[in-house]
Structure formats: C-alpha cells, structure tokens
Amino acid sequence: MDIGCYNINVARMLFGAEPVRIESVIHRDAGMGIDILSSAILVFPGGGQSTFTCSTRADNAQRVHIVGTVGRIEFEVPFNPPPDRETRIFVTVDGDPVAANATETIVFPAVDQYTVQARLFAQAVLDDTPVPVPISDAIANMRVIEGILATSPML
C-alpha cells in the first residue's frame, strides 16, 4: 500500500475521523507479492464514504474528487506535483462542473514539497516544538492500511 497511503490520509483528514468499515480488493504481483492495483471503500461515522483506486502500474495520473450535496471539489495532482509546476483546485457549487462559469479555480504556485517538509521538520527540532504532522497520524494511517490488507481477497 505504498501509494494508497495518500488516499487514506486525505479521507481521514476530510472526515476528521477514522473509518468504521473497510472493504478492499488488491491485485498483487505474482512474483513479488506486492500490490500493483488496489481499490478500497472506507466508511466513516455518519455514513460518509471514501472510495479510491491506486496502482503502481497505471498511467501517471493523480486526482482527488470530493463530491457533496451542493457541489464538488477536484484536486489536480494532489500528492506529488512536480516541483516546477503549479497545481490547481477546482471548486464547483450549485452547478455543472463542466460549465466554466460555475467553477472557481484556485492556483497554488510551484513548490518543492520535500524541501518544505524538511525545513518544517528541522525548524520543529531546533525550536523544540511539535512537528507539523504527529506520529499518531502515521500510526492511525497504518491501522487503516492493515484493515485494507485484512479485508482484501488474495488476487
């Protein structure tokens, strides 16, 4: 679940909770046993759902779609944007996302996310302050990964 960890983290962050039910299917490489195509449904308290598919062998495409009752949000290249390219978020409220006049585009400038991450971590160590993302978040994410692995048939 190398790349699936990002999908899990986004869902947990958006719902502000841990999933109460997990269903998944993982196709593994026959020789190496590693996941090459994974899909999961995470059900959160109150009935909210997150579905995702990720693959180490698929075309290099990343998207996050958040669909609500009055609109939707789409994140373009949310997990690993190139450090020399801006990325965008498209917000659509009360309208068809295909209609340009119904969509707001938020543009984020290009940034090397690994440099930012290292700088923030180093600053927290130097200042003896909490790191931006605590270890408890990684542990909670790992619990969901373990749940996905446990519910998946061996394909």
> What pTM was computed for the model?
0.85
Of 121, 116, 118, nearest to 135 by C-alpha is: 121
46 CB neighbour count, 10 Å cutoff: 8
Residue owning tokens 């749940």 = 147
Rounded to an integer, what distance in angstroms lies between the CA atom of residue 91 and that of residue 107?
11
Reading the chain (155 residues) residue by residue, the pLDDT tens digits are 677 899 999 999 999 999 999 999 999 888 988 889 999 999 999 999 999 999 988 877 889 999 888 888 999 988 888 889 999 999 988 766 555 556 789 999 999 999 999 999 999 999 999 999 999 999 999 999 999 999 988 76
The string of DSSP codes covering 67-108 is E-SSEEEEEES-S---TTS-EEEEEEESS-TTSGGGEEEEEE
Domains defined along the chain, listed by start: 4-151 (3.30.360.10)
